[in-house]
Structure 1
Amino acid sequence: MNAAPLWGADAPTALIVAAPERMSGNVRAIEASGARLVGQVTPEAADGRIARQIALDLILFDATGLAPETATDTAVTLAGWAAERDCRIVATLTPDAIDAVASPLLTTAATLLCGATPAEEAAALLAALPQPAARLHDATWEREAERLRLLNEEVARLAEVLSQLAAERPESVRDRSHGFRADVPAEPDPDPRTVRATIRARRLRDQYFTGALFADPAWDMLLDLYAARLERRRVSVSSLCIAAALPPTTALRWIGTMHDANLFGREPDPTDKRRAHITLTQRAADAMRGYFAAAAKAGLVAA
């Protein structure tokens, strides 16, 4: 059922970019969200169609069934357009398309859904659309909004803790306006085997307890990226999702939030400029170095 009366004549506008066989399901999703559908185009026609669009609130990009090259090229096009306009992107994809689609869209604050249920997609669309001043009670949207709020608060808390580890040292000069050190910590990096041992110890718990009891995806991702940095190894978006031990949609949301918190960065793939790898920012790397140095001094990890 179309929920357009929630907005009335000012319903937000939406464009669908998808393969022809995927159009009908996406049209129903847009109609249910209450947005006003202004067009449906295939990935090949997306660039020209978007160029003619004066204003747009939402792009629903369905990468399901697309060839990797087509999915990446389309994601790059949409990311560039969203960067220039005040427009949100919701992208649905399959696990094998995570690297092709997620990398270009990471800097756009896009909502990335992988294997999402219809209810999750509906909640994502509602959260992405500009909300009217007053709307009917929607329990699904409220639950999703609350979950996003809690996730953002947790990442902000983690960022603050890591910043303090790198900032609060007697020999350093603290920049209180930013909460982290301007100079590089004096401690050397730990042996990457120490970081890997920490990761193995965390995974060992899963053999004895259900993993949901100890879910800490932000820390799992930081550990994996720090170990990879020490090993001079690149990390793709899909492999980082695996390291988080979470459903892909949830892992992608964490990656986006950590990127927005200036803890994760993007590094272009030297062999494919359309793709990128995930890295720690210098701020996060300094904080991780400080953490392992402090843990070693306390005898909690190998020096």
Structure 2
Amino acid sequence: MANLSVAPLSGDPFAQAVNALLIAGAASTDVIDALTAAGIRTRAMVDCAGAAAELDEPRLDLILLDARSVAEAACVPLIDRLAARDGADGTALVAILAAGQIDLAAPLLGLPGTQLLCDPAPAELLAALVLVRAESEAPSRLRVHDVTRDSEATRLRRLNEEVARIADALTRLTRGELAEDEAFERYTGLREPEMGYRGPEGPPPDIDASEIRAVIRARRLRSQYFAPELFADPAWDMLLDLFAASLERRRVSVSSLCIAAAVPPTTALRWIGTMHDAGLFGREADPGDRRRAYIVLSEKALQGMRGYIAALRRVGLSLV
């Protein structure tokens, strides 16, 4: 089914240096429009059955998977194949999922160069593709202008941040999600792999899952009296939910964790990826169903939560 459709080219086709493979059950106007607007050349469009041969082709900069119209039976082996690539060849991956498909994306969480979008708005999809193009073009710019290597890298990083903010504004995301961008900058220390957590002084605290669940209920109760976006804090909400689940010896699916984050699914997926990169979240496969995976707290995150609660108790404060 190769070459069923390609994004129409505008301007100088040689300026569109990013080669993309579009994998979809059917051509989608929003995807084609976003590819064209981002200046990305679609080398071929294939269905899941025809993807295997195309994935082995050289000079592929972007794999764009639109799974919204793809049957689960066809989607699962393809996602497993994409996950096995592990970003080692430098090919970017953008996967578009429907809300009911979030759990299928678990194998892709935390993979280098991967962006997961759930029923994205047009501007949100465009922002993801613009980031791919900017990152794809950066190496050649750095080689040509070697004397300005540091400044080019800095400008690219700032461009990535700015495009994400523009997408939020264009899609009229809530104030809470805009505030989340500021929270993201505050939490960037989480990405440091050597970052440690101070453990409790003395024996570990005796913590009951009901205590954590009560905190979660109290946080959700605020939305009955105030706009939920005023208190959006997906990283902490997910940490609380996974910590309670660990105490209950219960496993948490990706879709369940997205609900616990109390933000739109794409935002939640981005935060899950961030926490995974930070070494705070891990994945556990479901031995009974290879299509599912569960998110768990890493040992570092468990120690951090226990140490934080112990510190609160030492000074007479409550967990919020």
Of 49, 53, 71, the match for 1:48: 53
Tell me if the contact between 2:222 and 2:228 (Cα under 8 Å) persists in the aligned partners.
yes
* Backbone CA RMSD of aligned residues: 2.9
Of 101, 104, 111, the match for 1:108: 111
User: What is the identity, as a one-letter code, of the residue corresponding to 1:31?
Assistant: T
Tell me if the contact between 1:59 and 1:89 (Cα under 8 Å) persists in the aligned partners.
yes
Tell me if the contact between 2:131 and 2:163 (Cα under 8 Å) persists in the aligned partners.
no
Q: Which residue pairs with 1:154 in the alignment? A: 186
% identical equivalent positions? 46
Partners of 2:218 and 2:28 in 1: CA distance: 46
Please report how far the alpha carbon of residue 228 of structure 1 lies from its aligned counterpart in structure 2 after TM superposition.
0.4
Tell whether 2:27 aligns with 1:22: yes
Q: Which residue pairs with 1:13 in the alignment? A: 19
TM-score after normalising by structure 2: 0.77
TM-score after normalising by structure 1: 0.82
Tell me if the contact between 2:200 and 2:307 (Cα under 8 Å) persists in the aligned partners.
no
Partners of 1:99 and 1:246 in 2: CA distance: 16
Q: Which residue pairs with 2:43 in the alignment? A: 38
Q: Tell me the SS of whatever aligns to 1:84.
A: coil
Tell whether 2:104 aligns with 1:84: no
Q: Which residue pairs with 2:73 in the alignment? A: 69
Partners of 2:291 and 2:75 in 1: CA distance: 11
Please report how far the alpha carbon of residue 205 of structure 1 lies from its aligned counterpart in structure 2 after TM superposition.
1.3
Q: Which residue pairs with 1:167 in the alignment? A: 198
Please report how far the alpha carbon of residue 25 of structure 1 lies from its aligned counterpart in structure 2 after TM superposition.
4.5
User: What is the identity, as a one-letter code, of the residue corresponding to 2:33?
Assistant: R
Q: Which residue pairs with 1:181 in the alignment? A: none
Please report how far the alpha carbon of residue 206 of structure 1 lies from its aligned counterpart in structure 2 after TM superposition.
1.3
Tell me if the contact between 1:94 and 1:115 (Cα under 8 Å) persists in the aligned partners.
yes
Tell whether 2:242 aligns with 1:210: no
Tell me if the contact between 1:190 and 1:293 (Cα under 8 Å) persists in the aligned partners.
no
Q: Which residue pairs with 1:287 in the alignment? A: 304
Q: Tell me the SS of whatever aligns to 2:284.
A: strand
Please report how far the alpha carbon of residue 261 of structure 1 lies from its aligned counterpart in structure 2 after TM superposition.
1.1
Equivalenced residues, count: 278
Q: Which residue pairs with 2:97 in the alignment? A: 93
Q: Which residue pairs with 2:162 in the alignment? A: 142
Q: Tell me the SS of whatever aligns to 2:252.
A: coil
Report Cα offsets for 1:30-88 as digits up to 9, x if no partner: 2221122221110112122212x112111110000222232222111112224331111
Please report how far the alpha carbon of residue 295 of structure 1 lies from its aligned counterpart in structure 2 after TM superposition.
2.0
Partners of 1:261 and 1:84 in 2: CA distance: 19
Of 244, 254, 275, the match for 1:258: 275
Q: Give the unaligned 5+ runs of structure 1.
A: 172-185
User: What is the identity, as a one-letter code, of the residue corresponding to 2:198?
Assistant: A
Partners of 1:232 and 1:3 in 2: CA distance: 55
Q: Tell me the SS of whatever aligns to 1:122.
A: helix
User: What is the identity, as a one-letter code, of the residue corresponding to 1:153?
Assistant: E
Q: Which residue pairs with 1:270 in the alignment? A: 287
Partners of 2:184 and 2:10 in 1: CA distance: 28
Tell me if the contact between 1:16 and 1:61 (Cα under 8 Å) persists in the aligned partners.
yes
Partners of 1:140 and 1:167 in 2: CA distance: 33
